[in-house]
């Protein structure tokens, strides 16, 4: 008997199409129906003013759940570079200031690291996932990381954000060069959801 449609609908607190696609692919094998918050009219963007990835993820999950009346996933992720004392961190998506784009953020990052040798360009991607029930109560929290180094130049066109510059040492390829199948196994987001899914399945089963 298929699990498809046997779980409550879960709403992802994101309008980032590539992020939605990645998470939907991670949940699809388990029959968890995922839709984006953008499918609901009149839901305002959550202000990400927390001082940690967890605080932002929890706020997105809780406020979105209350706004739409469904289970909600809030995900906050970013790049923490050792030489920059953890920056851009929680400000990864808006690192270059107002009107930030992936291109502008990457340009600032590479400028900040100019002249640094390979061994001093280490860093990690962090992903924190929070799940809230329809009443806005946070029920689950998971965080995972993935270490790598920041390449001197962009390589590859897959992924988004800092992916073309984030190199996995063991693969000698950036996330931008790695295919989605590999990224779904080793990325910070994949690792977080790998830990989250068993707990999410139990939690949603009890909610039916």
**Residue 163, annotated ligand binder?**
yes
**Residue 128, annotated ligand binder?**
no
Q: Where are the alpha helices (DSSP H) in the chain?
A: 17-27, 53-68, 102-112, 180-186, 188-207
**Residue 194, annotated ligand binder?**
no
Under 8 Å CB-to-CB from 108, ≥6 apart: which residues? 95, 96
Taking residues 124-146, report their average pLDDT. 97
Predicted pLDDT at 4: 47
Q: Residue 193 maps to which CATH number? A: 3.90.950.10
- Does residue 95 fall inside a structural domain? yes
pLDDT digits (tens, 9 = 90+) for 178-194: 977 788 788 999 999 99
Q: Which domain holds residue 136?
A: 10-207
- Does residue 2 fall inside a structural domain? no
Main-chain dihedrals φ then ψ at residue 95, nearest 5 degrees:
-60, -35
% of the chain exceeding 70 in pLDDT: 97
- Does residue 133 fall inside a structural domain? yes
- Does residue 3 fall inside a structural domain? no
Q: Is 111 a catalytic residue?
A: no
pLDDT tops 50 at residue 104: yes
Q: Distance (Å, rounded) from C-alpha 32 to C-alpha 202?
A: 12
**Residue 18, annotated ligand binder?**
yes
- Does residue 186 fall inside a structural domain? yes
The closest of 122, 138, 8 to 76, measured between CA atoms, is 138
Predicted pLDDT at 208: 62
DSSP 207: H
pLDDT digits (tens, 9 = 90+) for 31-82: 999 999 999 999 999 999 999 999 999 999 999 999 999 999 999 999 999 9
pLDDT tops 70 at residue 134: yes
- Does residue 1 fall inside a structural domain? no
Predicted pLDDT at 30: 94
Q: What count of Cα atoms within 13 Å lies in the side-chain half-sphere of residue 138?
A: 18
- Does residue 4 fall inside a structural domain? no
**Residue 139, annotated ligand binder?**
no
pLDDT band at 3; cut points 50, 70, 90? very low
Q: What is the enclosing helix (H) or strand (E) of 8?
A: none
pLDDT tops 50 at residue 161: yes
pLDDT digits (tens, 9 = 90+) for 4-19: 458 999 999 999 888 8
Tokens (6 digits) for 178: 């790695």
The residue annotated as part of the active site, out of 76, 133, 152, 194, is 76
Terminal C-alpha separation, the chain: 17
CA distances in angstroms from 118 to 142, 177, 197, listed in the order given: 31, 18, 35
Q: Distance (Å, rounded) from C-alpha 189 to C-alpha 77?
A: 8
C-beta of residue 143 within 8 angstroms of C-beta of residue 53: yes
The total of structural domains in the chain comes to 1
- Does residue 123 fall inside a structural domain? yes
pLDDT digits (tens, 9 = 90+) for 192-205: 999 999 999 999 99
pTM as predicted = 0.91
Average pLDDT of every residue of the chain = 93
């Amino acid at each position: 008997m298929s699990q498809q449609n046997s779980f409550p609908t879960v709403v992802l607190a994101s309008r980032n199409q590539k992020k939605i696609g990645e998470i939907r692919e991670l949940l699809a094998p388990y029959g968890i129906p995922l839709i984006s918050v953008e499918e609901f009219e009149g839901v305002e963007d959550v202000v990400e003013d927390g001082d940690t990835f967890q605080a932002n993820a929890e706020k997105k999950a809780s406020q979105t759940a209350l706004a739409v009346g469904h289970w909600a996933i809030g995900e906050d992720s970013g790049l923490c570079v050792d030489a920059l004392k953890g920056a851009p961190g929680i400000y990864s998506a808006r690192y270059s200031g107002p009107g930030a784009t992936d291109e502008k953020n990457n340009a600032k990052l590479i400028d900040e690291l100019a002249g640094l040798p390979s061994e001093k360009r280490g860093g990690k991607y962090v992903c924190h996932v929070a799940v809230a029930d329809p009443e806005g109560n946070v029920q689950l929290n998971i965080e995972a990381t993935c270490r790598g180094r920041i390449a001197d130049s962009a390589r590859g066109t897959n992924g988004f954000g800092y992916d073309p510059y984030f190199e996995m040492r063991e693969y000698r390829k950036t996330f931008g060069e790695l295919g989605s199948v590999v990224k779904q196994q080793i990325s910070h987001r994949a690792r977080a959801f790998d830990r989250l899914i068993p707990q999410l399945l139990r939690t949603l089963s009890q909610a039916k």
